[in-house]
Amino acid sequence: MARSLRIGVIGGGIGGLAAARAMLMRGMEVVVFEQASGLIEFGGGLVLTPNALTALRALGLEERALADGFESTGQVVRSWRSGRVILRNSFERYRALFGATSATIHRGDMQKLLAAFVPESALRLASRCTEVESRPHAGVAHFADGSEFEADVVVGADGIHSAVRSSVFGPQNPHFTGLMCWRGLVDSRRLPGLVPPEQSAWWGPHGHVVHYYVRRGELLNWVAHIETDSWTEESWSTPGYAPELRATYKHWNHQLTRIFEVTEHCYKWALYDREPLREWSRGRVTLLGDSAHAMLPYLAQGAAQSIEDACVLAAVLADAPEEPEAALKRYEGLRLPRTSRIQLGARERGRINHLSSRWSRFRRDASIACRNWIGAKTGPQDLAWIYGYDAGNVPTGELAA
């Protein structure tokens, strides 16, 4: 009987844990190395678009994610000051069109859910990878404590500031977008019945705000984006200053700003953009998730793409266990064109969300209304290529090795 593949995954975030789950389901031997000393519950909400839920279905986790997250009735986009509805989509329609709904979940809950399916023995905490190398028949990861780990394949799922990516492909040059975000979580009891159960967005000049429930409706997550030239730290954990937030959005609709008023703690981070990489794999080392394709959040695809990567990577490795290097190239060929297109699409969506002149906003809203009217018959076709993807059924054997 062929020996099972041994895989080292660097990073215990959503992408790394999803990869571990997908590989364990296919009988591979997996060890996940996470730099933090615990899988701490940190971060805000994540949107799971239909393609993310379809990928979770392939991992046997769709129902769990829906149970731990929140199922909104639909999506609504409103104008920043008047609250006029620009766009409304029902998730019933998503089920009919894409075979899955859209849900929202706390990042910590998603991470916990994935971690529950990775045995403790496969998880090494407090293990910071400093460097990786590809040897003729193995990938090797080196750690800050001086230890090393040799595997058939090493996967860099170590996020936006990936050490694996830097060590294999050199430093990347992200550029500051001129945008920053605040984010916060509010106990829903502080807003009794005041915020409808929809994934909501407010589009205004120079910025937009989104909010939705997570954790079965117990918490409301919000993220507020605004153009700025004064804040440039790309960190998920820097505390924000509430009076500054309230002053920035003081002219926005009161239905929205009351959410800020009842928020106790907020965080802020600057948004950086990166060009798509030309390759992800060298020999026995590859990248997955944000380390391969960190993207702006405007299409809500960061977590979704990392889960899709996980499903496809596990499938190609299972198809060609004797040829891991060819399998990694096949994975890259299947995934990189899609994630690059999404990275660029997210950049364009950010531009559309923040139009500053009244005339350009009027033209945008009128064109959306027109497309929506046609879409009553044809569906939200502009996102169908993203939402309709089934990561559990990608024809992995089609590319030449």
Ligand X SMILES: Cc1cc2nc3c(=O)[nH]c(=O)nc-3n(C[C@H](O)[C@H](O)[C@H](O)COP(=O)(O)OP(=O)(O)OC[C@H]3O[C@@H](n4cnc5c(N)ncnc54)[C@H](O)[C@@H]3O)c2cc1C
Of these, 5, 23, 34, 91, which contacts ligand X (CB under 6 A)?
34
Of these, 290, 308, 325, 365, which contacts ligand X (CB under 6 A)?
290
Residues 176-194: b if buried by 16+ CB within 10 A, e if exposed? ebebbbbbbbbebeeeeee
Shortest separation between residue 154's beta carbon and ligand X, angstroms:
11
Phi first, then psi: give them for residue 10, nearest 5 degrees: -95, 115
Candidates 5-13, 187-195, 357-365, 393-401; binding stretch for ligand X (CB under 6 A): 5-13
Nearer to ligand X, 11 or 324 (CB): 11
The three-state secondary structure class of 303 is helix
> Of 118, 165, 380, whose CA–CA distance to 290 is shortest?
165
Catalytic residue flag (residue 212): yes
Question: Residue written as tokens 């991470």?
Answer: 111
Q: Check residue 400 and report its DSSP letter.
A: -
- Going from the C-alpha of 43 to that of each of 22, 54, 79, 222, the distances in angstroms are 24, 23, 27, 11
Residue 145, exposed/middle/buried by CB under 10 A (0-12, 13-18, 19+)? exposed
Q: Rounded CA gap, 240 and 123, in Å?
A: 33
Say which amino acid occupies 58. A
Shortest separation between residue 35's beta carbon and ligand X, angstroms:
4
105 binds ligand X (CB under 6 A): no
Task: Give the bridge partners for 151, in sequence order.
Answer: 139
Shortest separation between residue 265's beta carbon and ligand X, angstroms:
13
Residues 64-83 that bind ligand X (CB under 6 A): none
273 binds ligand X (CB under 6 A): no
128 binds ligand X (CB under 6 A): yes
Shortest separation between residue 358's beta carbon and ligand X, angstroms:
30
Of these, 5, 9, 14, 311, which contacts ligand X (CB under 6 A)?
14
Tokens of 133: 């190398």
Candidates 211-219, 252-260, 301-309, 390-398; binding stretch for ligand X (CB under 6 A): 301-309
Write down the catalytic residue from 212, 249, 298, 389.
212
Nearer to ligand X, 98 or 222 (CB): 222
**Residues 202-241, mask of contacts with ligand X (x by CB under 6 A):** ----------------------------------x-----
> Of 371, 293, 298, whose CA–CA distance to 337 is shortest?
293
Q: Rounded CA gap, 57 and 349, in Å?
A: 28
Candidates 39-47, 53-61, 315-323, 326-334; binding stretch for ligand X (CB under 6 A): 39-47
> Of 51, 46, 47, whose CA–CA distance to 98 is shortest?
51
Of these, 7, 9, 15, 66, which contacts ligand X (CB under 6 A)?
15
8 binds ligand X (CB under 6 A): no
Q: Give the number of C-alpha atoms closer than 13 A to the C-alpha of residue 85, restricted to the C-beta side.
A: 10
46 binds ligand X (CB under 6 A): yes
Residues engaged in binding ligand X (CB under 6 A): 10-16, 33-36, 42-44, 46, 107, 128-129, 157-160, 163, 183, 236, 289-290, 297, 302-303, 306
Active-site residues, by number, are 212
